[in-house]
């Protein structure tokens, strides 16, 4: 007698050769073998849940005065401050490999940094000139500008300082002007990163009153008082100037419910997109923000995160390329729609290579 036509009971799997077979509970091993979907690249490709694309990336760049200038930032291996002409050339590559937008950060000459941060609202400041040059050469490339006073302030703080206190409402009045000046220079996305209260609504109103209603507002909504900004402050030259810390305006790293309140306020005040910053140490915040508000949610993979990875890579302690891609996909997994990262060009090049 043969077995054809004889049904095997559903609950009893084929016995392993030679094994003393005991039926497994439905759904369990050995019927279920998770490794089957991992056994070859083609099947891993098919079952992959999250994908990183160049179109997810925003490239933060540092701009300096001069021409043909490229100044390496020692605490950020591979990152350079660029003069406007070089920046415009580099932007061509970014666009070519599919990066949708840049974020411009200036290193302002020390003699232009004042207590009233007046250079921040000069329509001919370094940021405005960089934005005009970028938009002229690459009209289709998005340009994001930070709105905060730290690069322009002799105190190194994001707000105006009086008697050691960071002034909220006086700062917001300057931020409104800074936002309008940057947007008039051609900036597409105004990104207040200062964490003053009420600034998103104030900036939105100022833009609208100036007829700039199409300019987006990206709120650094949940921005923490983090040790991971150190290399950035070297890059923009604000670390020497900074007196004290930013704990009276940036968030306490121990809080998440507070992040949700911050984000809710910024949305109510008219933010088009919200951001969580830093990235890797705050993936839980990113996930909660995305789940709660379902807003376009960005994350900033900040300078210190970049520096750690590069330093370990340079020491041969880890494979920096793989660690970079793993980091970036972690942001997608945690709910990010877009990622500001100093790895943008390198990652986009790798993605292009993997495709070809
Ligand atoms: C300034 C600003 C900071 C960063 C972006 N905008 C630094 C700070 O708040 O001190 C940090 C970015 C990074 O570390 O890569 N308002």
Asked, for residue 169, whether it belongs to a domain, the answer is yes
Q: Is residue 249 part of a domain?
A: yes
Query: How far apart, in Å, are the Cα atoms of 164 and each of 240, 243, 259?
Result: 17, 9, 26
**Lowest-pLDDT choice from 103-107, 149-153, 237-241, 302-306:** 237-241
The string of pLDDT tens digits covering residues 64-101 is 999 999 999 999 999 999 999 999 999 999 999 999 99
Could you tell me the CATH number of the domain that includes residue 222? 3.20.20.70
CA-nearest residue for atom 7, ligand 1, is 229
Domain assignment present for 37: no
Give the pLDDT score at 356: 79
Residue 225 lies in a domain: yes
Q: What percentage of the chain carries pLDDT values higher than 70?
A: 93
What residue's CA is closest to ligand 1, atom 10? 229
pLDDT (average), residues 286-300: 98
Q: Is position 223 annotated as part of the catalytic site?
A: yes
Ligand 1 in reach of 305 Cβ (< 6 A) = no
10 falls in which pLDDT band (50, 70, 90)?
low
Domain boundaries, position 81:
51-355
Binned at pLDDT 50, 70 and 90, residue 1 comes out as very low
| 145 lies in some domain | yes
The residue ranking higher by pLDDT, 4 or 264, is 264
CA 20 to ligand 1 centroid distance, Å? 63
Active site residue 277: yes
Does some domain include residue 46? Answer: no
Q: Is 306 in the pocket of ligand 1 (CB under 6 A)?
A: no
Q: Do the beta carbons of residue 157 and residue 196 sit within 8 Å?
A: no
> Which residues, in sequence order, are bridge partners of residue 338?
298
State residue 122's pLDDT score.
98
For ligand 1, whether the C-beta of 303 sits within 6 Å is: yes
Residue 230 preceded by cis peptide, ω within 30: no
pLDDT > 70? residue 15: no
List 113, 246, 277, 290, catalytic entry: 277
Residue 239 clears pLDDT 90, i.e. is over it: no
Judged against a pLDDT cut of 60, whether residue 12 lies above it is answered with no
Report if pTM > 0.85.
Answer: yes
Where does the pLDDT of residue 19 fall: very low under 50, low under 70, confident under 90, or very high at 90 and above?
Answer: low
- Helix axes of 84-96 and 344-355: crossing angle, nearest 10 degrees: 30
Average pLDDT of the residues in 326-335: 98
Q: Which residues of 311-329 are buried (b: 16+ CB within 10 A; e: fewer)?
A: eebeeeeeebeebbbebbb
How many domains in the chain? 1
Which ranges in 148-249 belong to alpha helices (H)? 168-184, 199-209, 230-236
Q: Decide if 29 is inside a domain.
A: no
With respect to residue 11, please indicate whether it lies within any of the assigned structural domains. Answer: no
User: pLDDT tens for residues 136-193?
Assistant: 999 999 999 999 999 999 999 999 999 999 999 999 999 999 999 999 999 999 999 9
């Amino acid at each position: 007698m043969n077995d054809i036509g004889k049904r095997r009971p559903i609950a009893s799997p084929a016995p392993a050769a030679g094994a003393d077979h005991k039926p497994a509970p439905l759904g369990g091993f050995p019927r279920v073998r998770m490794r089957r979907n991992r056994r070859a690249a083609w099947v891993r490709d098919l079952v992959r849940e999250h994908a990183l694309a160049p179109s997810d990336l925003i490239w933060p760049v540092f701009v300096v005065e001069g021409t043909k200038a490229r100044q390496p930032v020692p605490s950020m291996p591979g990152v350079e401050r660029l003069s406007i002409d070089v920046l415009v050339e580099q932007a061509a590559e970014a666009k070519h490999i599919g990066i949708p937008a840049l974020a411009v950060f200036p290193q302002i000459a020390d003699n232009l940094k004042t207590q009233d941060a007046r250079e921040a609202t000069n329509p001919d400041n370094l940021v405005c000139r960089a934005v005009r040059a970028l938009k002229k050469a690459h009209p289709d490339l998005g340009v994001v500008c930070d709105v905060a006073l730290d690069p322009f302030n002799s105190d190194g703080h994001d707000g105006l300082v009086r008697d050691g206190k960071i002034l909220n409402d006086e700062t917001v009045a300057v931020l409104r002007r800074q936002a309008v000046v940057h947007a008039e220079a051609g900036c597409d996305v105004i990104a207040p990163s200062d964490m003053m209260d009420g600034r998103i609504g104030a900036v939105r109103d100022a833009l609208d009153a100036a007829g700039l209603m199409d300019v987006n507002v990206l709120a650094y909504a949940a921005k923490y008082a983090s040790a991971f900004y150190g290399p950035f402050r070297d890059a923009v030259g604000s670390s020497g100037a900074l007196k004290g810390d930013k704990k009276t305006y940036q968030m306490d790293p121990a809080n998440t419910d507070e992040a949700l309140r911050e984000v809710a306020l910024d949305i109510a005040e008219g933010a088009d997109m919200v951001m969580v910053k830093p990235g890797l140490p705050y993936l839980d915040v990113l996930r909660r923000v995305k789940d709660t508000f379902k807003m376009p949610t960005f994350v900033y993979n900040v300078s210190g995160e970049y520096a750690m990875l590069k330093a370990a890579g340079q020491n041969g302690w880890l494979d920096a390329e793989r660690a970079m891609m793993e980091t970036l996909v972690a942001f997608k997994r945690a709910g990010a729609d877009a990622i500001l990262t100093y790895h943008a060009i390198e990652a986009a090049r790798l993605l292009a290579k993997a495709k070809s």
